[in-house]
Amino acid sequence: MYQRVLTDVRLFELLWRIDQDLAREARERGCGRCGGRLDRADYPRKPRGLPQELGNDHVRPCQCCAAEGCRRRITPPSARFLGRRVYVGAAIVGITALQPGARRSEVRALQEWVGASRRTLARWRRWWRATFAKSGFWRGARGRLRTPVPARELPGGLLRRFAGNHQTRLIAALRFLSPITAVDRAM
């Protein structure tokens, strides 16, 4: 089920457009510290877990304050990346959302396609259920959901809270999670 979604180039093209919109919104707000104009300062990424048709070279939209003396760097929210992780967010959410009772063949096929080891998958699951579940973002954001999601059900329980097919749910979850990917720091 998620293998078809994660290998669909259109998913990643849509996520790219969402990231462009998020970057534009951040640029329009300007610098949060001095109010200065933000210039583009994208940086290259070589993410794993993308369909081969998309190639290896990608950029993460980023901005830098143009005001002399400020130069604050802003990394707007992203629907494609979960922070600084090497794998794209869709792969991390999609694979770790598989139920423990999922067919082994499906888990193995996704694991091979993404290139993630069993240890990596176990680390991702621990991150969801321990680190993420205790984060300030999750404590505040889970209240926006109609029904609560227990930590042991993350991220699959989060996906199930959104309506639509697998792709629509995955996109909604990545948009919901996008605030955790934003960074605002002084240079």
Domains of the chain: which residue ranges? 2-185
Query: What is the pairing mode between strands 73-75 and 63-65?
Result: antiparallel
Tell me the pLDDT tens digit for each residue of 132-185: 999 999 999 988 898 989 999 999 999 999 999 999 999 999 999 999 998 876
CA distance 161 to 140: 16
Output the pLDDT for position 102. 61
Model-wide pTM > 0.95: no
Sign of CA dihedral 130, 132, 133, 134: positive
Q: pLDDT tens across 18-54, in order?
A: 999 999 999 999 998 899 999 998 988 888 888 888 8
b/e burial code for range 74-113 (CB count within 10 A of at least 16 → b): bbbbbbbbbeebebbbbbbbbbbbbeeeeeeeebeebbeb
Share of the chain above pLDDT 90, in %: 50
